[in-house]
Amino acid sequence: MSVRPRVLIHGASGRMGQVLLRLAAGRDDLHVVAAVSGRAPKQRVVDGVPYFGASELGGVPEFDVAIDFSLPEGFDVLLATCVKRKAALVSGTTGLDDGQRAALYAAAATIPVLWASNFSLGVAVLQDLVARAAALLPGWDCDIVESHHTRKVDAPSGTALTLGEAAAGQGADPHYASIRAGDIVGEHLVQFTGIGERVELVHRATNRDIFAGGALHVATRLPGRAPGRHTIADLLVSALA
Ligand SMILES: NC(=O)c1ccc[n+]([C@@H]2O[C@H](COP(=O)([O-])OP(=O)(O)OC[C@H]3O[C@@H](n4cnc5c(N)ncnc54)[C@H](OP(=O)(O)O)[C@@H]3O)[C@@H](O)[C@H]2O)c1
């Protein structure tokens, strides 16, 4: 592996992909060698980065780590390519089905992988707070309300499900509600309701840079690590705390 990891951005034409490419261009601790979208792009090289369509994935240059913010439709081929190339995978794609999750975990036997429903430091802290609140408030109702822009395809959001798992792990029984409105980047409210009182824990993302910055940070640290399922807490929270 090169000291400065060679990075493939998967989902490059999307909202997240565009932010990843912009932020990556300003960093000297990694090097984007390929940008991949679903459809083959009209422009083949942009700012020195070669662009590819999903059907051309087999022909991309060598890379050390793929950063994937795309759609579940493209996940299987990307995962197989990472395994074949012995490259690490950082994925934030939500809405993966059970078979795709199983394939990701199986791939972790041979490559380092990190999937997270949310790459922001604030949500990592929120997850911890939710688990603690659930443990301290047995028997209280637990409701998770998530709000996103109208073009988000999956619901409840991956982050809401991750927060729900944190609560359920401490005995809560979370229920979910989803709002799709305007251009909301991402908001998550976790409320615990008892008789006569309510605790509300909330995170509001106002800018996609927080997710992209977290994913790029992780991508500089994952290549060269042992194969396995790495966590956002290991690679993001401990580094920034
Ligand atoms: N974990 C986190 O922190 C976090 C934060 C934000 C978003 N997300 C998730 O990240 C994903 C992307 O979000 P977004 O808002 O950027 O979506 P988006 O704007 O719809 O972009 C989707 C991207 O995926 C590409 N794509 C579609 N089908 C593909 C295929 N078969 N193979 C390869 N690429 C394909 C699209 O290419 P074309 O334009 O050519 O179709 C586009 O580049 C979603 O799952 C979202 O929930 C996660």
6-115+209-240 is a CATH 3.40.50.720 domain: yes
Per-residue pLDDT of 21-48, as tens digits, reads 999 999 999 999 999 999 988 899 999 9
Smallest CA-to-CA distance from 229 within 110, 126, 95, 71 is with 110
The pLDDT value recorded for residue 234 is 79
Q: Is 208 helix (H, G, I), strand (E, B) or coil?
A: coil
Pairing state of beta strands 49-53 and 112-115?
A: unpaired
Tokens linked to 232? 């956002």
Residue type present at position 103: A
What residues are paired with 52 via a beta bridge? Answer: 36
Counting residues of the chain whose pLDDT is more than 70, the rounded percentage is 97
Looking at the chain, the domain(s) classified CATH 3.30.360.10 span 121-205
pTM: 0.91
Per-residue pLDDT of 98-156, as tens digits, reads 999 999 999 999 999 999 999 998 999 999 999 999 999 999 999 999 999 999 999 99
What residues are paired with 84 via a beta bridge? Answer: none
Q: How far apart are CA 70 and CA 74, in angstroms?
A: 7
Mutate which of 8, 22, 52, 69 to test ligand 1's pocket (most atoms within 8 Å of Cβ)? 69
- Atom number of ligand 1 nearest to Cα 123: 3
Q: Is 11 annotated as belonging to a binding site? A: yes
The region, left, alpha or beta by phi > 0 then psi within -120 to 50, assigned to residue 118 is beta
Burial zone of 209 (CB within 10 Å; 0-12 exposed, 13-18 middle, 19+ buried): middle
CB distance 67 to 114 below 8 Å: no
The pLDDT value recorded for residue 30 is 97
182 alpha carbon to ligand 1 midpoint, in Å?
18
The pLDDT value recorded for residue 235 is 78
Phi, psi of 95 (to 5 degrees): 85, 15
Burial zone of 31 (CB within 10 Å; 0-12 exposed, 13-18 middle, 19+ buried): middle
Pocket of ligand 1 (CB under 6 A): 10-17, 36-39, 54, 69-71, 73-74, 92-95, 116-119, 211
122 alpha carbon to ligand 1 midpoint, in Å?
22
Q: Is 34 annotated as belonging to a binding site? A: no
Looking at the chain, the domain(s) classified CATH 3.40.50.720 span 6-115+209-240
Output the CA torsion sign for 229, 233, 206, 180.
positive
User: Does residue 241 carry a pLDDT above 60?
Assistant: no
Give 232's Cβ-side CA count (13 Å radius): 24
CB distance 103 to 80 below 8 Å: no
Class of domain 121-205: alpha beta
The region, left, alpha or beta by phi > 0 then psi within -120 to 50, assigned to residue 108 is alpha
